Amino acid sequence: MNKIEVGDKIRIEKKNMVYEGILLPTTDASSKNMIILKLSSGYNIGIKKDKNTKITLIKKSVFKPGKIPKMKFKKKSELPNITIIGTGGTIGTHVDYKTGGVFMCRTPEEILAAVPEINEIINIKKVINLFNVGSEDINKKHWKKLAEAVKKEIEDGADGIIITHGTDTLAMTSAALNFMIGVPPIPIALVGAQRSPDRGSFDGRLNLLCAAHYCTTNIAEVSVVMHGSINDDYCYAIKGTKVRKNHSSRRDAFQPINTIPFLKIWDDGRKEFLRKDYHKREKKRVELKTNFAKVGLIKVYQNSEPRILEWYLKNDYKGLVIEGTGLGHVPGRDAGTKYNWIPEIEKLVKKGVIIVICTSTIHGRTNNRVYRNLRLLDRTGVLWGKDLHSESALIKLSIVLGSAKKLEEAKKLFETNLVGEFEERTLIGDVLGF
């Protein structure tokens, strides 16, 4: 007697009822003793197994769930040679027969199988399946690995690089990559998807096509290329250090923060250049900075206590970004001794912790002098994030602290415009829902 396994056609007899279908794996989401059966109609149902349930085998191995085809690339030498690097995320998800949800499992070849037209825009030089994780799990080790892979591909002559990534922390990785490799010699696009590739409404299709078009331009920048509207019509290529995911589920979640996107791109290849001051392609060596110092991000709010800062000091944090209110305020003397952040911040600065003040409004620039409390805060020796939003400031702070030998050098580096992350002018077009 053959053992019954997933994929076999079986018969279940229970209380005068007979069900026939294909045995599927039972996921963690199901109740105890549930048998998941795929009926001939295609419907899956759960049948609870009890003492009186009889299961018999009809046929072995009828169905193998979850097989994804891979894209076969055609070599097209006339097109630019673009390397695709997969790191995981929704853009590479598939049904997980363990939990019943989706998980990151698709290789880049499997992702591209959903967008075969991409081969008409670019020649796929190489496909690298670097790692396959949800973006919430990405950390500095992944960043280092990514920067090294990017450097190698640039040195190997790639005309552009497309990196697929989960959307949750995509904007942080784009900032990290930009700070790690500096201004790149070629276009580098980070793309993701808010809807998985197993459905007709997969938004990654447009993002991938537009990323491919972006890689054919002269814009040598690290950019996030994602939906520009709720329609599947165009994407924006937004500077990697000045972009943020501002919605948990919309396809146009990525917005420029205090900047104007480089490019508006339609899937048919139409392009609208929105600015001229981007770095152009050039031949140059890439120097990596991949040391990250321990830094933290804190938000102040009404009734917030500055005592939390002691914990960071005790736990050896080298730098902190504080999201202040409005122009960059923290609660001061009038909030009461228990809630006055200014003396506590001063204590940390004196102990050699770099503190950067950003704004919790996300959009807009900090200021160090309009109000008295801002001036008092400024005198403690904090740095100002200016038009850099807190997550980007955090990554920059971590890298400058990791690469500088001395505190003063790190401070100086933070205040330097390394890759174009500081912009002198904030324009009307770049505020909220661009």
Partner 1 sequence: MKKELLLVMFLVFDYEKLKFKCGLEIHQQLNTNKLFCSCKTLINNEYDFSFERKLMPVVGESGRIDESALNEFKKRKKMKYFGNYETSCLVDMDSEPPHEINHEALIIAIQMALLLKMKLVDEIQVMRKTIIDGSITTGFQRTALIATNGYIETSIGRVPIESLVLEEDSCRKIKETEKEIHWALDRQGTPLIELMTAPVLKTPQHALETALKLRELSRKLKIKRGIGTIRQDVNVSIKNGARIEIKGFQNVKQMPKVIDKEIQRQLKEKKLVPQVRVVLNDNTTKYLRPLSSSSRMYPETDALPIKITKELIEEARRILPRIIDVKKELLKLGLKEEIANQIERTGQYEKFKHLNARIKNPKLVSTYLLINKKASTELLEKVLINLQKKKITKQNAKQIIKQNINLSDLKKFIAETISEDDIRKTINKILESKKELLNDERAFKMLMGLVMKEFKGKADGSLVSKILKEEIKKKLKSVIRKF
Residues annotated catalytic, as ranges: 90, 167-168, 245
Task: Select from 91-99, 175-183, 398-406, 418-426 the region that touches partner 1 (CB under 8 A).
Answer: 91-99
- Select the residue interacting with partner 1 from 4, 20, 30, 266 (CB under 8 A): 30
Residue 34 or 313: which CB sits closer to partner 1?
Answer: 34
Is 330 within 8 Å of 309 (Cβ atoms)? no
Task: Report CA dihedral (146, 150, 152, 155) to the nearest 10 degrees.
Answer: -170
- Select the residue interacting with partner 1 from 66, 157, 343, 429 (CB under 8 A): 66
What is the chain's percent helix, strand, coil content, to nearest 5? 25, 25, 50
Instruction: Give least dist CB 202 to partner 1, A.
Output: 6
- Select the residue interacting with partner 1 from 195, 281, 289, 363 (CB under 8 A): 195
By CB under 8 A, is residue 225 in contact with partner 1?
Answer: no
**Which residue type, as a one-letter code, is found at position 195?**
R
Residue 198 or 415: which CB sits closer to partner 1?
Answer: 198
By CB under 8 A, what part of segment 68-87 binds partner 1?
A: 68-69
By CB under 8 A, is residue 206 in contact with partner 1?
Answer: yes
Tokens, residue 268: 């048919």
By CB under 8 A, what part of segment 328-347 binds partner 1?
A: none
Pattern 155-194, binding to partner 1, x per CB under 8 A? ---------------------------------------x
DSSP state string for 17-62: EEEEEEEEPPPTTSPTTEEEEE-TTS-EEEEE--TT-EEEEEES--
By CB under 8 A, is residue 4 in contact with partner 1?
Answer: no
By CB under 8 A, is residue 269 in contact with partner 1?
Answer: no
- Residues 6+ positions from 383 with CB-CB distance below 8 Å: 354, 355, 356, 357, 411, 414, 415
Tokens, residue 434: 């661009």
Pattern 103-122, binding to partner 1, x per CB under 8 A? -------x--xx-xx-----
Cβ density class 337-369: b for 16+ within 10 Å, e for less:
eebbbbebbbebbeeebbbbbbbbbbbbbbbbe
Residue 196 or 216: which CB sits closer to partner 1?
Answer: 196
Residue 55 or 286: which CB sits closer to partner 1?
Answer: 55
Q: Give the strand pairing for 188-191 and 160-164.
A: parallel
Instruction: Give least dist CB 23 to partner 1, A.
Output: 13
Instruction: Give least dist CB 238 to partner 1, A.
Output: 20
By CB under 8 A, is residue 197 in contact with partner 1?
Answer: yes
Q: Give the strand pairing for 263-266 and 234-239.
A: antiparallel
Secondary structure of residue 352 in the 3-state scheme: coil
Query: Cα(424)–Cα(421) distance, rounded to whole angstroms?
Result: 10
By CB under 8 A, is residue 205 in contact with partner 1?
Answer: yes
Query: Cα(358)–Cα(194) distance, rounded to whole angstroms?
Result: 28
Q: Under the rule (CB under 8 A), what is the footprint of partner 1?
A: 17, 19, 27, 29-31, 34, 36, 38-48, 65-69, 94-96, 100-102, 110, 113-114, 116-117, 194-202, 205-206, 229-233, 248-251, 267
